[in-house]
Amino acid sequence: MESTIAYEEMRQLATRVFMRHGVPADEANITSEVLVEANARGHDSHGVIRIPKWIEGISSGAIKSRFLPRALNDCSSAIWLDGGQCLGPVVAEYACHLAVRQARDYGIAMVSVKNASHIGMLGFYAELMARSGCIGIIATNTESGVAPHGSAEKVFGTNPLAIGCPTLSGPVFLDMSTSVVARGKVVLAQRAGAAIPEGWAVDSRGQPTTDPNQALAGALLPVGGPKGSGLSFFVDILCGALSGTAVGKDVRGTFDMRQSGSKGDIFIAIDPEKIGGIDRFTGLAQHLVDQVRQSTPAVGCDRVLVPGEYEMNFRKQRMENGIPLASDLISELKALAGE
């Protein structure tokens, strides 16, 4: 059975769950915002459904709170940050602000993070950097679940990537797994006892499957064949290899949260003010937005959307009508909050 819950009510409930498990109010707030925003934007696989697993991680000690930033190098524009196994959204939000602050001085700044837990929906951070006037690029590597192009075996994670920038009419942002879909969407189908569309996954022999159980035992497919496979490869390089954590099959702590995270994240901020000025940049970015929106829709398509518009349309509708959630999930979250 499904119920609907208002955004703010969900956010407060999520915050209370984290606080009841020892997370300080500021960190509980940041974490719940990233998760509830995912629900608001239609990425339910990265929303509050994650909370019970994250609480398992907190209770087991694999995920810590009270993040104390610690740089592992001495470089102002290429910062190597230890996340201290703390809550991913807290570390990620800090890394975004740091990258933006340093980009104001150097034009570009990069924060490579090791030892942070799962950071949730990446588009949140791309939008945050875009709202600060920067181009933001974020990626993270995850536990393996995706077969490289031509392989029957999972090696890569769903290794998502987000890119955002300001325009005259607000931020635009791409937010995508480098697999056909996020693994969480297959888990949602498994929970619902539903089939997944053809083309998402193969079973453990490398045969196409629409059964979510076989897909999880087998492998998801990279988006766009060799191109997504190549992107996924380099997300592993930019995140796992650069941060000095783990790559491919060695990545841990994004499915089973009772294991400490051994993945990496990258946050890159570019300040257009340093390269010809923000006004010129946002003017041209807006020009591209207008060209895309005004292009002739293909047959069967009502409107042509720019990156992130899909999510923002969802958000508008869910802010008005509430967030649909499985009733048993709401009960589980209330129980975790001790209510």
Ligand X SMILES: NC(=O)c1ccc[n+]([C@@H]2O[C@H](COP(=O)([O-])OP(=O)(O)OC[C@H]3O[C@@H](n4cnc5c(N)ncnc54)[C@H](O)[C@@H]3O)[C@@H](O)[C@H]2O)c1
Binding site for ligand X (CB under 6 A): 43, 46, 118-123, 140, 142, 158, 160, 162, 174-177, 181-182, 185, 254, 305, 307-308, 310-311
DSSP label at 140?
A: E
* Tokens found for residue 255: 């499915």
250 vs 100, 120, 123, 261, 263, CA distance in Å? 31, 20, 25, 11, 9
Separation of alpha carbons 305 and 293, rounded Å? 6
Minimum distance, C-beta of residue 259 to ligand X, in the bound complex (Å): 14
Q: Give me the DSSP letters along 9-22.
A: HHHHHHHHHHHHTT
Nearest approach, Cβ of residue 27 and ligand X (Å): 17
From the CB of 84, what's the least distance to ligand X, in Å? 18
Least distance in Å: CB of 301 to ligand X?
Answer: 8
CA–CA distance, 309 with 306 (Å, rounded to integer): 6
For ligand X, which is the closer residue by CB, 212 or 307?
307
- Rounded-to-integer distance, Cα 139 and Cα 123, Å: 10
Is the CB of 219 or the CB of 337 nearer to ligand X? Answer: 219
CA distance linking residue 164 with residue 291, whole number of Å: 18
Q: How far is the CB of 143 from ligand X (least distance, A)?
A: 9
Quick one: 123 or 218, whose CB is closer to ligand X? 123
CB of 218 or CB of 222, closer to ligand X? 222
**Owner of token pair 């083309």:** 199
Minimal distance, residue 265 CB to ligand X, in Å: 9
Angle at which helices 327-336 and 51-60 pack, to 10 degrees? 30
Residue closer to ligand X, measured from CB, 98 or 231: 231
**Rounded distance between C-alpha atoms, residue 120 and residue 190, angstroms:** 20
Furthest CA-CA distance within the chain: 55
Q: Which two tokens stand for residue 72?
A: 């592992």
Q: Residue 185 Cβ, how far from ligand X at the closest point, in Å?
A: 6
CB closer to ligand X out of 68 and 301? 301
CB-nearer residue toward ligand X: 102 or 254: 254
How does DSSP assign 90-118, residue by residue? HHHHHHHHHHHHHHHHHSEEEEEEEEE--
Of 182 and 337, CB closest to ligand X: 182
Report, in Å, the least distance between residue 45 CB and ligand X. Answer: 6
- For 114, half-sphere exposure in the C-beta direction (CA atoms, 13 angstrom radius) is 18
Give the separation between CA 126 and CA 238, rounded to whole angstroms: 17
